[in-house]
Chain A
Amino acid sequence: MPQVSLTVNGKRETVEVEGRTLLVELLREKLGLTGTHVGCDTSQCGACVVLVDGQSAKSCTMLALQADGASITTVEGLAAADGTLHPMQAMFREHHALQCGFCTPGMVMSAIDLVQSHPEGLTEAQIRHGLEGNLCRCTGYHNIVKAIAAAQKLMHHQQQAQAAE
Chain B
Amino acid sequence: MYDFAYTKPASLADAVHALGGADAKALAGGQTLIPVLKLRLNRPAIVVDLAGLGLSGIKVTGGTVTIGATTTHATVAASLDVQRAFPALACLAAGIGDIQVRNRGTLGGSLANNDPAADYPAVALASDATIRTNKRAIAAGDFFQGLFTTALEPDEIITEVAFQAPQRAAYTKFRNPASRYAMVGVFVAKGGQGVRVAVTGAGQNGVFRHTAFEQALERAWAPESLDGISTPADDLNSDIHGSAEYRGHLIGVIAKRAVAAS
Residues of A that sit less than 8 Å from B by CB: 2, 18-20, 22, 41-43, 46, 49, 52, 55-58, 61-63, 65-66, 68, 110, 113-114, 130, 132-133
Which of B1-9, B217-225, B227-235 makes up part of the contact surface?
B1-9
| CB pair B98 A55 closer than 8 Å | no
Cα A42 to Cα B36 with chains together (Å): 10
CB contact between B97 and one of A2, A20, A55, A133 (< 8 Å): that residue: A133
| CB pair A63 B6 closer than 8 Å | yes
B49 within 8 A of A: yes
Q: A46-B100, A57-B103, A133-B101 are contacts. A66–B1 as well, Cβ < 8 Å?
A: no
The number of A-B residue pairs with CB atoms under 8 Å apart is 72
Cα A114 to Cα B2 with chains together (Å): 34
Cα A155 to Cα B34 with chains together (Å): 34
Q: A19-B47, A62-B30, A66-B30 are contacts. A41–B38 as well, Cβ < 8 Å?
A: yes
B104 within 8 A of A: yes
| CB pair B30 A132 closer than 8 Å | no
Q: A19-B5, A19-B6 are contacts. A61–B34 as well, Cβ < 8 Å?
A: yes
B97 to chain A: closest residue by CB: A133
B14-52 interface with A by 8 A CB criterion: 27, 30-31, 34-35, 37-38, 47, 49, 51
| CB pair A62 B104 closer than 8 Å | yes
Cα A41 to Cα B37 with chains together (Å): 12
Give the residues in chain B near A2, CB-CB below 8 Å.
Answer: 6
Interface string of B203-222 (1 = CB under 8 A from A): 00000000000000000000
Give the residues in chain A near B74, CB-CB below 8 Å.
Answer: 55
In the complex, the 6 A-B pairs of residues with the closest C-beta atoms, listed nearest first? A133-B98, A19-B6, A132-B98, A20-B1, A19-B4, A55-B103
| CB pair A18 B97 closer than 8 Å | no
Q: A20-B4, A132-B180 are contacts. A66–B101 as well, Cβ < 8 Å?
A: no
Give the residues in chain A near B51, CB-CB below 8 Å.
Answer: 66
Cα A65 to Cα B98 with chains together (Å): 23
Cα A56 to Cα B103 with chains together (Å): 7
Tell me the minimal C-beta distance from A17 to chain B in angstroms. 9
| CB pair A61 B31 closer than 8 Å | yes
Q: A55-B103, A57-B104, A63-B6 are contacts. A43–B31 as well, Cβ < 8 Å?
A: yes
Instruction: Give 12 A-B contacts (CB < 8 Å), ordered by A residue.
Output: A20-B1, A41-B38, A49-B100, A58-B101, A61-B34, A63-B6, A63-B30, A66-B30, A110-B100, A133-B97, A133-B99, A133-B100
| CB pair B6 A61 closer than 8 Å | no
Give the residues in chain A near B5, CB-CB below 8 Å.
Answer: 19
Give the residues in chain B near A56, CB-CB below 8 Å.
Answer: 99-100, 103
| CB pair B34 A63 closer than 8 Å | yes
Cα A18 to Cα B47 with chains together (Å): 12
Most buried by A among B4, B8, B103, B180: B103
Q: A43-B31, A43-B35 are contacts. A57–B6 as well, Cβ < 8 Å?
A: no
Most buried by A among B3, B47, B104, B180: B104
Cα A51 to Cα B237 with chains together (Å): 38
B47 to chain A: closest residue by CB: A19
Q: A20-B1, A43-B31, A55-B74 are contacts. A110–B6 as well, Cβ < 8 Å?
A: no
B1 to chain A: closest residue by CB: A20
Give the residues in chain A near B6, CB-CB below 8 Å.
Answer: 2, 19, 63, 65
Give the residues in chain A near B97, CB-CB below 8 Å.
Answer: 133
Cα A132 to Cα B100 with chains together (Å): 9
| CB pair A58 B100 closer than 8 Å | yes
| CB pair B99 A114 closer than 8 Å | yes
